[in-house]
Amino acid sequence: MRYLASIGTLLGLSVFMACAQENVPPIQTPSTAAYTLEKVVDDSGILWGMTFISKTEILATEKGGTLYYCSAGTKQAISNVPEVYVRGQGGLLDVATDPDFETNSIIYLTLSSKGRGSEPGGNTALYKARLVDNSRLEDVELLYQASPNSKKGQHWGSRIVFDPQGHLYFGIGDRGNRDVNPQDISRDGGKIYRLNRDGSIPQDNPFVGQNGAKEAVFSYGHRNPQGMATHPTTGEIWVHEHGPRGGDEINRIQKGKNYGWPVITYGINYSGTPITTQTKKEGMEQPFYYWVPSIAPSGFAISDSDKYPNWRGDYFVGSLKFEYLEHLTIENQQVVAREKIAPNIGRVRNVQQGPDGYLYLSVEGKGIFKIVSKS
């Protein structure tokens, strides 16, 4: 009976995975590339986040805790970076410039911190600082620190973007506590957050005034978001997040919405056992797109550049697992094709569109590359 039950479980999982894959077009690898790759920053570590302060100058975070100023093929460390609690997947995470950076020199950082009080463990924190002479940070200010602390080293998040009105959005993963954090708006973790640039709570956030709620929360039911982009046409916030074994998702983030994790998912446990039998439930959002099998997505860009006329409006996502940049062709608000860009380049940690219109990708252990179109 136990043997028959095991067969039944495996058959059920096979049917489940087959159904899940109906959403996923096969990925193509072009026989000839319409682009070349130009290395602009050399680095042997993990450049987790990057942002541009001009067409030729980049700020890049190294997971171990260093913030770099990069220009003309060189890089130098910036001093007075907040202390980083390096644990597992945690470290110095994303960096973003203020919408008024040219006049105020303000930047924002997310990182894994030591957590609150004397309790062991840590959580994700958001900092604001002023960049001085491209060499040091001043007026460093903690804007948000998640709680409670967690001793686990996974699912810290985190990316930072701004909407057209200047609100700051950032993500925090479920911190490996999927059964509690993502669905509970009184706890941090498994959420997308929305703040004013000074760290205050926008009064039109969805849970303002709700008893016990984390008022910075904008959406919930997320697993581990490591890609976030502001749509260049609509101004909407888009996020992708790691699934478990299968079920990586892209979501259009809407105010107060529940994105389902772990109640609904297109993934399964790493052991092969089911997490849930549900992929849909009333009151929970369906993903815009999902991957089965997982590609381990990190970094997210939406192209609106004339540098790549055939790619306008398309999505670009780094694959840590399969070591390429994925190009998703978007037509009529659907993914209609998948393409490997820079196959076998290495673990693509981030992708950004620079102010010069080119796409830049950071690759673990190698550095930052610019994609130069041949056309």
Residue 253 covered by a domain? yes
CB neighbour class for 213 (10 Å; exposed up to 12, middle 13-18, buried from 19): middle
Once rounded to an integer, what is the mean pLDDT over residues 251-279? 97
Spot the catalytic one: 155, 222, 242, 327.
Answer: 155
Within this chain, do residues 129 and 198 fall inside the same structural domain, yes or no? yes
Within this chain, do residues 166 and 258 fall inside the same structural domain, yes or no? yes
End-to-end alpha-carbon separation of the chain, Å? 63
- The answer to whether 241 and 178 are in contact (CB under 8 A) is no
Q: Of 276, 292, 308, which residue constitutes the final position of a domain? A: 292
What CATH number should be reported for the domain holding residue 374? 2.40.10
Residue 242: C-alpha distances to residues 5, 46, 143, 202, 219 (Å): 30, 18, 26, 28, 16
| 85-140 confidence digits (pLDDT tens) | 999 999 999 999 999 999 999 999 999 999 888 878 999 999 999 999 999 999 99
Dig out the tokens for 294 from the structure.
Answer: 């997982």
Within this chain, do residues 336 and 242 fall inside the same structural domain, yes or no? no
Cβ-based neighbours of 306, under 8 Å, separated by 6 or more: 312, 357
- From the list 372, 375, 374, the residue with the least C-alpha distance to 356 is 372
Residue 59, pLDDT > 80, answer: yes
Residue 201, pLDDT > 90, answer: yes
Residue 27 covered by a domain? no
Within this chain, do residues 268 and 147 fall inside the same structural domain, yes or no? yes
Residue 6, pLDDT > 60, answer: no
> Coil, strand or helix: which one is 198?
coil
Residues spanned by the domain of 142: 79-292
Lateral strand order in the sheet of 217-220: 160-162, 168-172, 191-195, 217-220
Q: What is the CA radius of gyration of the chain?
A: 20
- The answer to whether 82 and 61 are in contact (CB under 8 A) is no
In which band, very low, low, confident or very high, does the pLDDT at 374 lie, cut at 50, 70 and 90? low
User: How many independent structural domains does the chain possess?
Assistant: 2
Where is pLDDT greater, at 16 or 319? 319
Measure the CA–CA gap between 349 and 321, rounded to whole angstroms.
10
Degrees (nearest 5) of the Cα angle 281, 321, 178?
35
Within this chain, do residues 177 and 311 fall inside the same structural domain, yes or no? no
Within this chain, do residues 272 and 365 fall inside the same structural domain, yes or no? no
> Coil, strand or helix: which one is 190?
coil
* Other Cβ atoms closer than 10 A to 136: 16
Residue 186 covered by a domain? yes
Q: Of 257, 292, 327, which residue constitutes the final position of a domain? A: 292
* Other Cβ atoms closer than 10 A to 351: 26
Measure the CA–CA gap between 169 and 64, rounded to whole angstroms.
23
Q: Of 249, 267, 292, which residue constitutes the final position of a domain? A: 292
Degrees (nearest 5) of the Cα angle 308, 359, 324?
105
* Other Cβ atoms closer than 10 A to 51: 20
Dig out the tokens for 194 from the structure.
Answer: 């929305």
Residue 9, pLDDT > 70, answer: no
Within this chain, do residues 236 and 328 fall inside the same structural domain, yes or no? no
pLDDT at 120: 85
Within this chain, do residues 115 and 233 fall inside the same structural domain, yes or no? yes
Dig out the tokens for 367 from the structure.
Answer: 């550095």
Residue 139 covered by a domain? yes
Is-catalytic flag, 155? yes
What CATH number should be reported for the domain holding residue 135? 2.120.10.30
Residue 157, pLDDT > 80, answer: yes
Within this chain, do residues 161 and 249 fall inside the same structural domain, yes or no? yes
Within this chain, do residues 304 and 275 fall inside the same structural domain, yes or no? no
Measure the CA–CA gap between 314 and 311, rounded to whole angstroms.
5
Q: What percent of the chain has pLDDT over 70?
A: 93
Residue 228 covered by a domain? yes
